[in-house]
Amino acid sequence: MFDVSPLLLTGAGAFVVGLAAAILIVWRDLAPFAGLSGPRRVLLVVALGGGVLAFGLKLAVIETLSLADRDRLAPALTIPEPEPQPAHEVGRPVWQALPAVAPFPPDDPPTPAKEALGRRLFFATELSRDGTLSCASCHDLDRGGGDGRPTAVGIGGAVGPRNTPTVWNAAFQARLFWDGRAHSLEEQALGPIANPIEMGADPAEVARRLAADASWRADFAAAFGDAAPIAPATIARALAAFERTLVTPDAPFDRFLAGDAAALTPQQLRGMALFESVGCIVCHAGPGFSRASLLAPEEGRAGLRRFPSLATPYTTKFRFTDDLGAARSGTAGIWRVPSLRNVALTGPWFHNGAVDDLAEAVRIMATVQAGRVVTDEPHVAPRISWDPETRRLTRHTPSPLREDEVAAIVAFLEALTSDRLRDRASRAAPTSEARATPSR
């Protein structure tokens, strides 16, 4: 039950104050101004005082009823406060396994016929201008989905400027190509076909070429219906449907999250903790280990990053700024954050394929992106820099990262490799057809 005595006291006090104010106003201001005296002045006081009393009583009744309702309903609405998260746990990432099925457009669901057509197209040399290259020529499914070269080799032996990204798990990416210019597999699919130094073909001409073949017509009809034309759009849709089957949720990391405590070695578990504490997870977040992923917290909207962020000798040594990606100009590039899934199989690394050692790639990222110093020395010298705008010196001592910690991070990255792909790579012949150098 609730106590109304405070209300009575409040109401009484309000009435007394209001009445006193009314008397003062009437006798000192209103009555003389209106020329009232005697009984008329008294009537004005009573009228104003009664109004103040009525208003005070209304407020008291409203508040009383409100308190009664609150007292009656409070037990049913009581929600226990959540247990406070320990200070050291606030903001910690939640590790997630890769889904077994890739997302797809609601208006274009996958079917076995579409996936089969896409698979045939993926290995078809008819998609290139001179019939020498297929998608699989650069995206070797037996070797991590890339070609193992620093940069791609296209039609006529033309050497491209950028490393070939893996096609495995590309279906989870919200941004595709190194500069992130494509936002779906369908949008990406025709790019290499039309690129003059990749497959060098006109997608419309490719469609006409396929339409002239009865077997292609039959496969397209099975996938899209008799009325759907063989066109660049249906080619892209079929390729995308096949690529959405290239998913690898079977890494030791995924088995560890599923409850297999022995799936990660102690060194890999240590590397997992370092991956978090060093800051790798800031960009390589979510089940796809990429902010450019549909599975990232921002669903890929934060998938572009400045690289290299800090000036170090690595930039010159590996010529990282010869190509600036989406930045076009400036002193550093803007690049899509690549997925680290199966990263141990997708070297050489970086947009220009300049680094062929995964441990060196970790050292570079720790230095130019996380601001660490890789050293086994017990003491790290401070860095002193001058800001000409503020005319101030800045003194900063970077945190060291030891070589055994680099090795632990590399071990963790190896735990992101699909068991199935590792097996395929170990059994792949050194000179598979998909990996062969194109005719010159």
The structure's pTM equals: 0.76
Q: Give the amino acid at 123.
A: F
C-alpha 176/C-alpha 191 separation (Å) is 11
pLDDT reported for residue 88: 39
Distance separating alpha carbons of residues 202 and 221, to the nearest angstrom? 22
For residue 84, pLDDT over 80 is answered with no
Q: What is the predicted pLDDT for the residue at 248?
A: 98
pLDDT per position as a tens digit, 278-329: 999 999 999 999 999 999 989 999 999 999 999 999 999 999 999 999 998 9
Of 89, 126, 187, 198, catalytic: 198
**Catalytic residue at 126?**
no
Quick check: 296 and 286 in contact, CB under 8 A? Answer: yes
Average pLDDT value for the chain: 85
User: What angle in degrees, to the nearest 10, is found between the helix axes of 232-243 and 112-122?
Assistant: 100
Q: What confidence category does residue 379 fall into, taking pLDDT thresholds of 50, 70 and 90?
A: confident
Structure-block tokens of residue 438: 């194109």
Distance CA 241, CA 116 (A): 9
Alpha carbon distance 333, 363 (integer Å): 19
pLDDT digits (tens, 9 = 90+) for 3-33: 445 445 555 565 566 666 656 665 566 656 6
Digit-coded pLDDT (tens) for 95-112: 999 999 999 999 999 999
What percent of the chain is helix, strand and coil (3-state, nearest 5)?
Answer: 50, 5, 45
Structure tokens at 281: 């997870």
The single-letter code of the amino acid at 63 is E
Sort strands 400-401 and 373-374 into parallel, antiparallel or unpaired. parallel
State how far the Cα of 341 lies from the Cα of 170, in Å rounded to an integer. 10
Q: What percent of the chain has pLDDT over 70?
A: 76
